Each structure stands twice: as C-alpha cells, then as structure tokens.
Amino acid sequence: MNSLEFLNKLVEESKVLITGGAGFIGSHLVDVLMKLGVRVRVFDNLSSGRLENLNSWLGNPRFEFRNGDLLDVDKVFKAVEDSCIVFHLAANPEVRSSSINPIRHFRENVVTTLNLLEAIRKVGNVKMFIFTSSSTVYGEANNVPTSEDYAPLKPISVYGATKLACEGLISAYAHTFGFKAIIYRLANIIGPRSKHGVVYDFVSKLRNNPKILEILGDGTQKKSYLYVTDCIKAILLGLKRPGEYVEIYNVGSDDQVDVKTIAQIVVEEMGLKQVRFIFTGGVDGGRGWKGDVKNMLLDTTKLKSLGWRPRYNSVQAVRKTVKELLTESTQ
C-alpha cells in the first residue's frame, strides 16, 4: 500500500487536521493534500501564518479553515472531534528568539502540543499523529551527518529543547493511548511563502540597503537547506510505512552550504554589485546567536529506504527560493 492509498483509507469518513496549516510548510502541505482529494481542516491562529496562503482552497467543500489557538482547550477539542489523522505543524519557529523569551516558546510549543495530545486522548478517534520536529534536537552533534539513533540528544537552544520535549510527550501518548506517531526532524526548510530564516532575512536586508549586508556570526556556519516541495514529499512518504508506535525520520538535503555562500547567491540573484558584507563575529566561536548550531547535516538513509530523494541540493534550493521570494514581492 503506497502513502496515498494509506491516507485515503484512513480519511474515507474523516478529515485530516493540520495545525499551523496557514503557515509556510503547512500551506504547502494543504496544497498537496487538497490536490489529492483529501478533506482538510486547518486550525491556525494566524500569528505567523497568513490566510492568503490558503486562497486557492477557501470555499472548496473539502476544505475548512478554523481560526483558533492551541492554547484554547475547547477549540482544540472541537478541531480534533472528527479527525483521524493530525499533522501538527503549529509552533513558534524562531530559534533565535527562544533565548530571549523561553517561557513563550515553552507555552507555544510544548503546552500547545500537550493540549492537542490531551484532546486526541479524550476524543479517541485519531489513528495517526504526524509532528514536524527539528534538527536542533541533536544540539552540537559529534557525528555529522547525524542519524536518528544519535545520542545523547543535547539541544543547545530553548527552541530545540521544546521540540525534544514535544517528541517525548508524543512518544508517551502514542504508546499509552494506542495511536501511531511519525516524527520528522527537519533541516532548514526554504521556499516560497517563507517569512523567516537566513534567506528571507538577507533578501529583506538588501531591499532596505542594497550596499551593505550584515551577517550574523563569522559566515562559516554550514547547514543543510531543503526545498519545501522535497519536504512535503518526505512527510507524505513516511505514511507508507507507519511501523511501530513511533517512527522518527530525518528530513534534509544531502549537502551543506555556508552562510557566506548564501549571501553571495542572494546578491547575485538580486543583481546587486559591490555589496559590502559586515560579519558580526557572532558568539561562541562564530555562531550567529546563542543556541545557533554551527554545523548541521542529517543522515537521511532511513527515509531514502522508502524511496525518497531530494530533487534539489542546498545551493539549488537557496537559489530557487531567492528567485521566488523576489517574484512574490512584485505580485
């Protein structure tokens, strides 16, 4: 049974619930599921997501949008009521700001996830729970590329800690209350509709000042960047083989690109000349901020065993994203 057949079997009489479905990754997931004929309910408070990301589906009888916050327990219960698959993408995505307001990140990432799991436990009809975690749960891994069985997990950011806490809660609830869970540890996902991250930041900064670009850190930070459509394919392919109560997959590109190279690509695509790069020097050996993982590359062998391959490498994904962000700004 392939992933689409499995999905259709589970949702014959029920909706798929997507928390954070108006956001960057969430709205791309909505696009694919709607095109596949799935009945979709989005639950989003629009704090970082945008309703315009869902314009193609508003008014479609298979689509429902609910404006709600996962901190509102009553609304969460109502959203879960007739859903048998839950994609939980809602979160505060800002890694850098998690050191400034840790309590906010705990509330918006961990408490919200607990509220959702409690609703699932009490309603009792959800058969599968899909969660987008993060490569930041590994912290500063000694083994790069880093595989899913790497241990011990020592996140160095509050954001990474909240994602790891969510993973623990999901695993406990899945085993205790009898539903399947798939956890995806994502690299840096980029593409159109993104409103945060280094590519978006560089484009925004150069629009404001095309002569100078401030770069956080020393520019040598190397990470994996994956184009969003490759990410969505990975998320849906994981449904093909649900396996044990909890499955964990790394999702990322096969290579890395450093921050200085990203800056050069943005400058090239914007057609700028003689841009002066100013490196802040960063903290803790050239990191962009406290909690910034300087070297990240995920081992995706497990996901590839299901037949997944990324279409774009990191440089291609960055270049394509810059072009699309520039096109978005002119529309």
Contact 186, 167 (CB under 8 A): no
For residue 207, what pLDDT is reported? 96
Contact 105, 150 (CB under 8 A): no
pLDDT band at 330 (very low <50, low <70, confident <90, very high): low
What's the whole-number mean pLDDT along residues 285-313? 95
Q: Which CATH number fits domain 194-224+255-297+312-326: 3.90.25.10, 3.40.50.720, 3.30.2320.80, 3.40.47.10?
A: 3.90.25.10
For residue 209, what pLDDT is reported? 97
To the query of whether residue 159 is one of the catalytic residues in this protein, the response is yes
Residue with tokens 């996140």: 155
SS (H, E, C) 221-290: CEECEEEHHHHHHHHHHHHHCCCCCEEEEEECCCCCEEHHHHHHHHHHHCCCCCCEEEECCCECCCECCC
Distance in angstroms (rounded) separating the CA atoms of residues 232 and 27: 10
- CATH 3.90.25.10 domain locations along the chain: 194-224+255-297+312-326
Tens digits of residue pLDDT in 99-135: 677 899 999 999 999 999 999 999 999 999 999 999 9
pTM of the model: 0.95
For residue 193, what pLDDT is reported? 95
Distance in angstroms (rounded) separating the CA atoms of residues 95 and 72: 24
For residue 13, what pLDDT is reported? 55
- Name residue 278's amino acid: I
Cα distances from 20 to residues 17, 164, 166, in angstroms, run 10, 19, 16
- CATH 3.40.50.720 domain locations along the chain: 3-189+226-251
| Range 3-189+226-251 classified under CATH 1.20.1600.10 | no
Spot the catalytic one: 138, 150, 159, 227: 159
- 148-152, 263-267, 274-278, 279-283: lowest mean pLDDT where? 279-283
